[in-house]
Amino acid sequence: MMCTCGQQDNHRIARRVTADGHDVLFYSDGSVYGCMGIGRYGSRPRNADRVEVYLRAAWLAAGEVCLYDQHEVRLLVVTARRAVQQITLQPLEYLRMSMAAGNRAPLRPSWTTLETDRNGRPLVQCWVLPRMRWPGLAIWRQHGRYEVVFRIEGSRGTYQTTGMFFRSLAGVQEYLDDYQLCEGTSRSQPPPPKVVGLG
C-alpha cells in the first residue's frame, strides 16, 4: 500500500510525545514504535488488508497518546485497532471509554525518597501522579500509610493534604478512580475534604 506522500517503503509518518515525556513513532504500515524505532507497541500488520486498519488505528492513537504515560501506549494502540473495526460506537468514543476502563488497572508507583534513616531505609517518599489524569495530585508515603496531597499553586514541590489517608495502594487506587470519574469535581482543584498543612 502506497503512502499518500508517494513513498512506497515503510517510513515514519508522525511523532508524538506521551504525558511522561517519551517519544512514540508512527509508521506508514500502521505499526507503532518507541524512541528511535526501538520497542514496538503491538504487532505489525501481517498482510495488505490489515495495513489500512492498522493505519487508521495509528492516527486515532496519535491523537490521544499525549494523554497517557509510556506504559499505557501498548494498550492504547491495541484498543485503537479494536475501535476502528467495531461498528457500535464512533472509534474515538469507543477508544476513550475503553481506555477509561483500562485505567483502573493497578497503579505503578514511581517514588521519590525525601528522607531516610541512618541505614538508608526510606522514611518519607512522594509520588507525583500523571498530570493529565490527576493534575496537581501526589501520594505522600510516611509511617506506613499513604496520603493524597496536592501541589500548592505557584510552588515547587510544596504540597498540602486533602485529608485522605489510606493503609494500602488498593485504597488509593479506588479513591483516585472515583475522583477521576466524578463529573462534579474540578480537574484543577482537589476534592472537597478539609485542607490541613503538612507541616
**Structural domain boundaries of the chain?**
12-102, 112-181
pLDDT at 104: 56
**Which of 33-37, 98-102, 131-135 tops mean pLDDT?**
33-37
Q: How many CB atoms lie within 10 A of CB 101?
A: 10
CB 73 within 8 A of CB 32: yes
Residues in Cβ contact with 73 at an 8 Å cutoff, skipping those fewer than 6 apart: 18, 22, 24, 32, 34, 41, 61, 65
pLDDT at 170: 80
Residues in Cβ contact with 119 at an 8 Å cutoff, skipping those fewer than 6 apart: none
CB 78 within 8 A of CB 42: yes
Lowest average pLDDT, out of 23-32, 62-71, 166-175, goes to: 166-175
pLDDT at 27: 93
Per-residue pLDDT of 147-193, as tens digits, reads: 999 888 766 678 888 889 998 888 888 788 766 555 334 444 444 44
Joined together, the cell numbers standing for residue 190 give: 482537589
pLDDT at 72: 86
The dihedral formed by the CA atoms of 176, 182, 184 and 187, expressed in degrees to the nearest 10: 40
pLDDT at 151: 82
In the chain, beta strands by DSSP E: 12-17, 23-27, 32-33, 112-116, 122-128, 137-142, 145-151, 159-166
Per-residue pLDDT of 69-124, as tens digits, reads: 888 899 899 999 999 998 888 999 988 888 877 655 567 788 899 999 999 999 99
- pLDDT over 90 (residue 144): no
pLDDT at 163: 87
